[in-house]
Amino acid sequence: MKFLDQAKIYVRSGDGGDGVVAFRREKYIEFGGPDGGDGGRGGHIYFRAVPSLNTLIDFRYTQHFRARKGGNGAGSNKTGAGADDVIIDVPIGTQIFDEDRETLLADLDEENKVVLLCEGGDGGLGNAHYKSSTNRAPRRADKGFPGEERWIWLRLKLIADVGLVGLPNAGKSTLLSVASRARPKIADYPFTTLHPQLGVVRLNAVEEFVIADIPGLIEGASEGTGLGDRFLGHVERCAVLIHLVDGTDENCVQNWKLIRKELKAYDEGLAAKPEVLVLNKCDALLPEEIEERKAALKAASGAEVHLLSGVSRDGLPELLRYLQDRVTASRNETF
Binding residues for Mg(2+): 173, 193
3-state secondary structure of 163: strand
The DSSP bridge pattern shows strands 275-280 and 197-202 to be unpaired
Chain CA centroid to CA 139, Å: 51
Residues that constitute the known binding site:
166-173, 191-195, 213-216, 280-283, 309-311
Report the Cα 232 to chain-centroid distance in Å: 13
Q: Is 229 helix (H, G, I), strand (E, B) or coil?
A: coil
State the binding site for GTP. 166-173, 191-195, 213-216, 280-283, 309-311
223 class by beta-carbon count within 10 Å (0-12 exposed, 13-18 middle, 19+ buried) = exposed
Q: How far apart are CA 62 and CA 57, in angstroms?
A: 9
Q: In angstroms, rounded to a whole number, what is the distance separating the alpha carbons of residues 261 and 273?
A: 14
Long-range contacts (CB closer than 8 Å, 24 or more residues apart) made by 263-271? 263/165, 263/232, 265/222, 265/229, 266/221, 266/222, 266/229, 266/232, 267/232, 267/236, 269/236, 270/232, 270/235, 270/236, 270/241
Phi first, then psi: what are they for 102, rounded to 5°?
-120, -35
Distance CA 162, CA 220 (A): 24
